[in-house]
Amino acid sequence: MPFCVPRAPSSPTHPPTAQMVAEASLAVFNAVVRDVLAACGVYECQEYEGTFMLAAPSTRAAVEAALALQVGGWGAVEGGVRR
């Protein structure tokens, strides 16, 4: 899923490290996933390093969330995957 990486904290004498960029990227990824899940009515049971365990009230909600995440996150939900 494509997403934008926020600028990691840095200064002219201390550029961002790969770890800082990875942590910022993971935070953005997790936020997008959580937004899509909420829009589809799917619940997060557990998350560990970007791996989510989910529960859905119906098969339809689970499929909608999976499709929305596969085709681009929040924009997919806004664009009509949800009915």
Looking at this protein, which amino acid is placed at residue 65?
Answer: A
Looking at this protein, which amino acid is placed at residue 37?
Answer: L
Are 9 and 21 a contacting pair, CB within 8 Å? no
Q: Using alpha carbons only, give the angle 83, 74, 5 rounded to the nearest 5 degrees.
A: 175
Q: 14-42, pLDDT tens digit by residue?
A: 667 888 888 898 899 889 888 999 999 99
Q: 38-81, pLDDT tens digit by residue?
A: 999 999 988 888 888 899 999 999 999 999 888 865 555 555 44
Looking at this protein, which amino acid is placed at residue 53?
Answer: M
